[in-house]
Amino acid sequence: MKNRIYKRKAVFTAGFLSVLLLSVAACGSVKNGDKTQSEGVVSEGGTDVMTGYETESDTKSWQNTTDSTQKETLPQETAEHVIGQGPTAEPDESQNTSENVSDSEGSDSISNDGETQESIDAAIVINPPEDISAEPVTNGQYVICLDPGHGGSSPGAIYNGYREGDLTLAVAFYCKAYLESNYDVFTVYMTRTGDTEFSSNQKVDLMERANYAASVGADVLVSLHFNATGTDDHSQKGCLGLVSKQPWVTEDSQNLANCILANLSVLGIANNGLVMKDSTTYYGDDGAALDYYAINRNCASLGIPGIIIEHCFLDNPEEVQFVDSEEDLQNLGAADARGIAAFYGY
């Protein structure tokens, strides 16, 4: 696999807003075309952290299910790297931050355990903003692919009246609009602009999202998600970034995710840091484990840094404050956008 050549802005300008100064200080900065290594303590262990639905095979969505038989427990020798951002950055098995689980049978069905169809239908309807064009504004230089997680037959986590797939789409639109309105160097594409999917087979769908990013010449892909524990414990808080361990994309992935998390933390969301996770199914030609999460793995296979951002926990009533108004969703989209811009030195 050839390394992609990434374009980077070499000069930081004065007069940033304070939030931008904070994000540049907290994330991997860019100087003269070279990126500094993300800061943080890296630990290895067998902890079972399964954040996001980007798992190594087809997946089932967590929707208030507490069926412990659905959880995948990793073998103790499986390597998982938690790149710390603070005291809450290293989850243990009691902090299983999974919104969805890997389905060993490869089913593409949605799990409705503990969630009735009526409650799914009764979820608050959040439509994408009508005043934001889905078409990319061709500004050139840097091509960003936003991937609103879920959609179509996969609504994602459904808690406290909110469907994850609706929230991710709205946040993606606001992120796109902020990038296009405040910077003249980004061309922004979205993997979906409605309640759609590439395929009802989630394994195919996740590969096609990465393929779409490659088809538009994306420099990076940012997959937007919201978290849920999938257990009776609804006290988990914070944002989290899932990044690739593949050497040709890992530094960019870490720096990009850190920039976004730093900006989300300005909104009052706890920064839980970054997670890398080894696949127990997919291996490279050299026998080394590939990435566990499909977006990380699929994008890396195409030479694209693909990251997953979990914004907050939908199953925690205290964190609903970050999604319960249009202004809140705009703030999340703007924070994502400022993080992307900071990664490129803006």
Q: Kindly report the three-state secondary structure assignment for every residue of 274-320.
A: EEEEEEEEEECCCCCEEECCHHHHHHHHCCCCEEEEEEEECCCHHHH
For residues 31 and 36, what is the distance between their CA atoms, to the nearest angstrom? 8
Both tokens of 301, joined, read: 């296979």
Burial label for 22, CB within 10 Å (0-12, 13-18, 19+), is middle
pLDDT at 88 over 70: no
Q: Tally the C-alpha atoms within 13 A of residue 57's C-alpha that lie toward its C-beta.
A: 13
Amino acid 126: pLDDT: 72
**φ, ψ at 195 (rounded to 5°):** -80, 70
Judge whether residue 60 has pLDDT over 70.
no
Q: Which secondary-structure segment (H or E) carries 102?
A: strand 100-102
A 10 A CB-CB count for 82 gives 24
Nearest Cα to Cα of residue 311 among 228, 226, 235: 226
Spatial contact of 272 and 312, defined as CB atoms under 8 Å apart:
no
What is the tens place of the pLDDT at every residue in 306-324?
A: 999 999 999 999 999 999 9
The model's pTM: 0.73
What per-residue confidence (pLDDT) applies to 79?
A: 40
Q: What is the second-level CATH architecture of the domain 148-346?
A: 3-Layer(aba) Sandwich (3.40)
Q: If you search the block for the tokens 């840094």, which residue do you land on?
A: 305
pLDDT of residue 186 exceeding 70: yes
308 or 46, greater pLDDT: 308
Mean pLDDT of the region 107-135:
52
110 vs 121: CA distance, rounded Å:
14
Strand-strand pairing, 34-35 and 59-61: unpaired
Q: What is the dihedral of CA 176, 59, 234, 310, to 10 degrees?
A: -20
20-29, 35-44, 106-115, 233-242: which has the highest mean pLDDT? 233-242
Instruction: Pick from 10-19, 103-112, 138-147, 182-191 the range whose average pLDDT is largest.
Output: 182-191
Rounded average pLDDT over 218-227: 98
Q: Which amino acid is at 157?
A: A
For the packed helices 164-182 and 326-343, what is the interaxial angle rounded to 10 degrees? 50
- Confidence class for position 138, pLDDT limits 50, 70, 90: confident
Report the phi/psi class of residue 92: left, alpha or beta, with left for phi > 0 and alpha for psi in -120 to 50. Answer: beta
Determine the 3-state secondary structure of 149 from DSSP: coil
Angle at 98 between CA 177 and CA 196, to 5 degrees: 45
Short-list 326, 289, 320, 329, CA closest to 175: 329
* CA-based nearest residue to 260, from 179, 339, 177: 339
SS3 142: strand
Residue 159 CB contacts under 8 Å (≥ 6 apart), including other chains: 64, 228, 234, 314, 315
Q: What percent of the chain has pLDDT over 90?
A: 58
